[in-house]
Amino acid sequence: MSSPAEPRRLRGHRATATCCIASRDRPGLVATSGEDGCVCWFDMRCKDVQLVMEIGKEPVSSLCFKPGKEDTIYVSSGKEVKCFDVRLGTSWTPLECYDYNKEEINQ
């Protein structure tokens, strides 16, 4: 019986990762959010991070794809939910921003 494979370390965040989502439309694509205020995009077939989105100074507590349109993601950071189109490259200006809570969003 062979021993289990050693877990692969994904490098991209400068602080703890807080959430991880996998794409339904693109096999191998995984996005993670972190306490560093970034969202990192990984292609599990490759070694290195593919894209780093610097959302802001607040930790990004969660993220999700827009159902049926995975080029759009929603992230929660601080008291806000922000919407981004990842096809816009390095221009990380939110398409929409919602002041959602009176307190920090945790999930």
Question: Average pLDDT, stretch 56-81?
Answer: 92
Instruction: Give the chain's count of helices (H) and strands (E).
Output: 0, 8
Handedness of CA 92, 98, 99, 104 (dihedral sign): negative
d(CA 49, CA 78): 25
Enumerate the domain spans of the chain. Answer: 17-99
Q: pTM to 2 decimals? A: 0.83
Fold for the domain defined by 17-99: Thrombin, subunit H (2.40.10)
At residue 105 the predicted structure's pLDDT band, cuts being 50, 70 and 90, is low
Beta bridge partners of 105: none
Contact present, 92 and 77 (Cβ < 8 Å): no
Residue pLDDT, tens place only, 38-56: 999 999 888 789 989 999 8
Q: SS3 breakdown of the chain: % helix, strand, coil, rounded to 5?
A: 5, 45, 50
